[in-house]
Amino acid sequence: MGSKPLKYEDVEDGTFYVMVAIHSDPKNKEIVYHIFPKTEFNKKVEENFQENKKKPKKNGDPKTTNWRRFIKKDYPEYQTAKYTDNWDILFN
């Protein structure tokens, strides 16, 4: 996601992220798409980053990273059918 804060207040409506999940087994040709509204997604990732940055590292030192990341399992609200292969979300 990068090291700059994610904007979510001045994001143009109708802007989305489309993430593609490709199975690691080459025999499994299934491809799953996750479609997220950019405003909502950026806000969640930024809030999660700010909360995690407050927690110390395992060794007790403060966290100094500015990198934001998205790991789907860390966001249970994005593991729903609402975002999976839901291309209709683009037109609502």
Whole-structure pTM over 0.85, yes or no? Answer: no
**pLDDT of 35-56, one tens digit each?**
999 888 888 888 988 998 899 9
What pairs with residue 37 in β-bridges?
16
Distance CA 58, CA 16 (A): 35
**pLDDT of 54-91, one tens digit each?**
999 999 999 888 888 888 788 888 777 888 999 998 88
Distance CA 2, CA 14 (A): 22
**pLDDT of 1-46, one tens digit each?**
666 777 666 666 788 989 998 988 989 999 999 999 988 888 888 8
